Amino acid sequence: MSNNSGMANRDLAQLKELLGDQLANVRKLIVLGVGAVFCNDDAAGMICLDHLALALPEREDILLLGGSSAPENFTGVIADFAPDLLLFVDAADIGRPIGTVAVIPAEQIDGITFCTHMLPLPVMLQYLANRCPEMRPLLLGIQPADTGQGTDVHPAVRAAAEALGEALAEVIERGMRR
């Protein structure tokens, strides 16, 4: 997101614009950070969620969930909250430079490699679609360098995850209906 993360400021502006469009008519939002914090860059979703939580004032229309390596454990919470939009943030092998952030529509996730989920994401999304037919899922994937065991997050991945959290807070505050 910053120049250190593999994304130029121009790319960050485009991402904010796209996310702003996605949030335009949203009344309830869940952001689900996903990733194993002990698998190096797979922690990207959790890092993003931490930065979002710091930058975003608490609101009743937004639920931030730390799904870690078992996001399926939150399907009941997600269904009960019944969001208009469910944003997943996760490390994803999108075949791009390290630290690149991509918006991945739910219908395209079958071809993307997500790192450490207990339940495949398409299965979880199908279950949620049955429980919450009005909910739109959207994935924000951050290209990792290494998802092996450890706690060494690549600087470009960390920078992208942190910048994404701050950008999400800005877009939510500016663009989500209250």
User: For residues 91 and 148, what is the distance between their CA atoms, to the nearest angstrom?
Assistant: 12
How many other C-beta atoms lie within 10 A of the C-beta of residue 149? 10
CA 68, 74, 75, 78 dihedral sign is negative
Q: Write the pLDDT tens digit of every residue in 62-74.
A: 999 998 888 888 9
- Alpha-carbon distance of 120 to 71, in angstroms, equals 10
pLDDT in tens, 77-88: 999 999 999 999
Going by the DSSP 8-state scheme, the letter that residue 135 receives in this structure is P
pLDDT at position 142: 94
Confidence of residue 9 (pLDDT cuts 50, 70, 90): low
Which residue ranges form the domains of the chain, and what is each CATH number? 3-175 (3.40.50.1450)
At 108-133, the pLDDT tens digits run 766 444 545 556 777 788 888 889 88
Please give the average per-residue pLDDT across 82-107, as a whole number: 90
Helices (H), 97-154: 121-131
Report the chain's mean pLDDT, rounded to a whole number: 85
